[in-house]
Structure 1
């Protein structure tokens, strides 16, 4: 028994007439597909099985119709997949099985689906006839798809034109009230509603802003309150709410009780509430549509599209009418909402880490240290001065030399002093001889005169001897020559009291700090600190403040006060005079944030004091 005997063959004429009648009277896409496949199978001789595959909304190809209904279609899956993959007609024939034909349904570059047939007649003539009829039917179906896409394109163009028109109309109004009234009137005309209401969010509640075909409304009226309650359901759920619920697609997650109460009191047979929101932000307004016919899915989809376009327009108009206080509060609420939503997680994480660091910096105390330029000086500085007026004979010492106690720094010319010494020695000897002669003669007058002359000569001799003893200038202690280089002035005259050299001891140092006047109030004697010199940046010296001078000096446009500090533990310290560095004085504990910002806050306080009348 062959496959033709497995299924009863229908009457071709009766089947074709019924299929054509079904095709003409099809009221849905599903009925149209079944009727089209039945007509095609009735025209193809010896057609046993027919399958129509169409692309669904997800992009997959699924069976849209089968002929006869209830036929097992698994055996047609392989040829259907091959046809869709190659986008070409496919013919298969296996021994003992019917012939399988598959033909793609394409319009331009779009592949809408495929039609698969099984034929009992294996002859090439039957296959060619089936291919021609299938090609004809596929062209008719492709044209149907093209017409449907054209209709959809016209609908989208009409919707876009309306969106453009209503947006321009709202933007052209002078204030938000007029814009809202224009909007609800146009929406009422567009969707055939006898009333459209607009409510604006005020905190967690809604306030009625506009009612179509009405320039005035009573917010305290019971019907207006019920309408606000219905819109609040959509506002709280952040989704579109329709009344009555679609019985074919029940939604158990959407509340509609307030819509039901309002529909009963207002007499409206169909309601639809649409929230208006910008992006993922909470809704700021709700539209309520009312009419006496049920809203279609395409209309509900259009409302959602309108909400996405009109939300920024209404928000802009409302923001322009707000006062400064309301605008500030709304901006703060918006900023707070942005902080708690899921947008920009990286930035928010960074801001959170920064805020945590600032809190820690404001709470954690650290030692506050005042920085100041510093210079090293000897604890005691001794000056080597010219002992008398004379001429410089030699000066072996120079600035920077290290000298021992008693070492000659310079030597004065002593030739004039030696002559003066001989002179006064002679004068003294003569005066003493005269004194003895007068004493022998008992001449008291000449004795006293000679004694006076002897005393005078002795004094002058002592003075000459004293100067001779000071001809050589020696170091009073082990020291370093801080100042003085007379190697180019040998033989030059020098005046008594002129400073020739300055010496500083090697084992005792002091540090002089220049404290900025902005920090002088925090620096007190007795405070400790650390010194780092430019010549030895890796070593630190501890010091203690001894005194702060009350006199300031001006350097580089700023006032500085000199403070003297004493180095602690100077044993083994190898320093040189006039070495410069940076000293930091510990003045107490402060928060890390205060340490970073106190200069700026002090400037702000001073500026406010200066500018305040």
Structure 2
């Protein structure tokens, strides 16, 4: 039976009468389906109609000895209508073939029985000399007539062909069976927001208080840059500022206004430099801009090493605010769309499965193992956030729709073959 069949009617002629076999109720065929079957029989034509979610198909089954019609009412989604039609068509073809084989077997059996009867009749007509009791063959060793052997052999061959036919029919039906196509995708957990801490200026690493994996609060010191040279510079600039301030006041007292203006300009310049150095001195303490977890950065082995302005030192992601980043292969990116659902299993939590919903299919890509990989972002349920940590990896299975099982098993090879043929053709 075709998957998701709601009702079926098998109509055949026996002499001049029409006989019906219905399913699931043997004595109560579906009225609407029976009406469709009658309509098709009157016009001697195929009938295919689809009114969501039911597909009605009426097809003739080839039988030389009688008229046979098969009517099916099948529940099918719009995108599965064509695969189901093909499945029904193939099923009817194989049913016709099995009926033909059955007729041939019946004819063969009839001929075999007729030949056996004729042979036995001729044996009874031949006069045979009396056989002594001692020469009579034992009942356990009576030779079976050749016609019986042929008959049994033909029966075995017929049974074998029938079984092979059923197996092939089931295989074809299985290949056309619509299934949910789920694409496996490598996935990593990331923070929805990531804050970077970079070196504010050229300097040297003095201390490393925390590293990747540590939990921090906003404003906590993560590491420090060497401030010795900056402190010396503050002392020098402070002394210079005080000297310019003294000269400015002396010029004003002596009414040397031109000289006073020169000192005033020097005062502003010295103050600007002093403020800049004091700001750098404050920035030597690298503090967490948000509360969360350090997901990247470890300076504990780089103490005393130089860093340049703008070098990335740490990354911080807030806790309980995560997203799943899917790494989609180039051959599968065309199936990925916003709003699709999926399931995620992580290596760190193999006993749990998390539902995900695709929120964005990014055009960004990168190269990995000589293959192009695209990024897609998915949202996670709130109940799962407490168990997750940035950097966890796993496999997500994204449901991209229903396709026939044969297509699911072979489409990657077919895609590759099409490209290869196109390349060779050029």
TM-score normalised by L of structure 1: 0.43
Question: Is the 8 Å Cα contact of residues 511 and 565 (structure 1) preserved in structure 2?
Answer: yes
Pairing 1:486–2:299 present: yes
Farther-moved stretch of structure 1 (524-533 vs 347-356): 347-356
Tell me the SS of whatever aligns to 2:386: coil
| 1:465 counterpart residue number | 278
Pairing 1:500–2:376 present: no
Structure-2 change in CA distance of 1:347 and 1:409 (3 Å): farther
**CA-to-aligned-CA distance 1:494-541 (integer Å, 9 cap, x gap):** 222222222222222222222222222111223222211111112122
* Correspondence for 2:262 among 449, 455, 476: 449
Structure-2 change in CA distance of 1:601 and 1:401 (3 Å): same
Instruction: Output the CA distance in 2 between the equivalents of 1:464 and 1:419.
Output: 10
Counterparts of 1:254-293 in structure 2 under 5 Å? none
Structure-2 change in CA distance of 1:611 and 1:240 (3 Å): farther
Deviation at 1:342, TM superposition (A): 4.7
Tell me the SS of whatever aligns to 1:406: coil
| 1:409 counterpart residue number | 222
Counterparts of 1:257-406 in structure 2 under 5 Å? 341-342=155-156, 352=166, 355-356=169-170, 359=173, 362-363=176-177, 365-406=178-219
| 2:354 counterpart residue number | 541
Instruction: Output the CA distance in 1 between the equivalents of 2:408 and 2:358.
Output: 21
Structure-2 change in CA distance of 1:412 and 1:347 (3 Å): farther
Tell me the SS of whatever aligns to 1:573: helix
Structure-2 change in CA distance of 1:571 and 1:556 (3 Å): closer
Question: Is the 8 Å Cα contact of residues 513 and 563 (structure 1) preserved in structure 2?
Answer: yes
Question: Is the 8 Å Cα contact of residues 402 and 481 (structure 1) preserved in structure 2?
Answer: yes
Structure-2 change in CA distance of 1:341 and 1:478 (3 Å): farther
Pairing 1:563–2:345 present: no
Structure-2 change in CA distance of 1:405 and 1:242 (3 Å): closer
Instruction: Output the CA distance in 1 between the equivalents of 2:116 and 2:423.
Output: 60
Pairing 1:433–2:309 present: no
Pairing 1:582–2:415 present: no
| 2:115 counterpart residue number | 239
Deviation at 1:601, TM superposition (A): 4.6
**CA-to-aligned-CA distance 1:177-220 (integer Å, 9 cap, x gap):** xxxxxxxxxxxxxxxxxxxxxxxxxxxxxxxxxxxxxxxxxxxx
**CA-to-aligned-CA distance 1:436-465 (integer Å, 9 cap, x gap):** 222222211111001001101111110111
Deviation at 1:546, TM superposition (A): 3.1
Question: Is the 8 Å Cα contact of residues 374 and 583 (structure 1) preserved in structure 2?
Answer: yes
Pairing 1:515–2:391 present: no
Instruction: Output the CA distance in 2 between the equivalents of 1:242 and 1:357.
Output: 43
Question: Is the 8 Å Cα contact of residues 393 and 413 (structure 1) preserved in structure 2?
Answer: yes
Tell me the SS of whatever aligns to 1:431: helix
Question: Is the 8 Å Cα contact of residues 508 and 570 (structure 1) preserved in structure 2?
Answer: no
Question: Is the 8 Å Cα contact of residues 245 and 263 (structure 2) preserved in structure 1?
Answer: yes
**CA-to-aligned-CA distance 1:375-406 (integer Å, 9 cap, x gap):** 12222222211222222221111122121211
Question: Is the 8 Å Cα contact of residues 507 and 570 (structure 1) preserved in structure 2?
Answer: no
Tell me the SS of whatever aligns to 1:466: helix
Tell me the SS of whatever aligns to 1:455: helix
Question: Is the 8 Å Cα contact of residues 552 and 560 (structure 1) preserved in structure 2?
Answer: yes
Deviation at 1:348, TM superposition (A): 5.7
Pairs aligned (count): 306
Instruction: Output the CA distance in 2 between the equivalents of 1:387 and 1:361.
Output: 62
Unmatched runs of 5 consecutive residues or more in structure 2: 1-107, 130-144
Question: Is the 8 Å Cα contact of residues 479 and 506 (structure 1) preserved in structure 2?
Answer: yes
Which has more radius of gyration?
A: 1
Instruction: Output the CA distance in 2 between the equivalents of 1:384 and 1:479.
Output: 13
Structure-2 change in CA distance of 1:308 and 1:601 (3 Å): farther
| 2:25 counterpart residue number | none
Question: Is the 8 Å Cα contact of residues 195 and 290 (structure 2) preserved in structure 1?
Answer: no
Instruction: Output the CA distance in 1 between the equivalents of 2:323 and 2:195.
Output: 14
Counterparts of 1:137-152 in structure 2 under 5 Å? none
**CA-to-aligned-CA distance 1:44-94 (integer Å, 9 cap, x gap):** xxxxxxxxxxxxxxxxxxxxxxxxxxxxxxxxxxxxxxxxxxxxxxxxxxx
Tell me the SS of whatever aligns to 1:463: helix
Tell me the SS of whatever aligns to 1:576: coil
Instruction: Output the CA distance in 1 between the equivalents of 2:389 and 2:338.
Output: 25
**CA-to-aligned-CA distance 1:73-126 (integer Å, 9 cap, x gap):** xxxxxxxxxxxxxxxxxxxxxxxxxxxxxxxxxxxxxxxxxxxxxxxxxxxxxx
Tell me the SS of whatever aligns to 1:532: strand
CA RMSD of aligned residues (A): 4.1
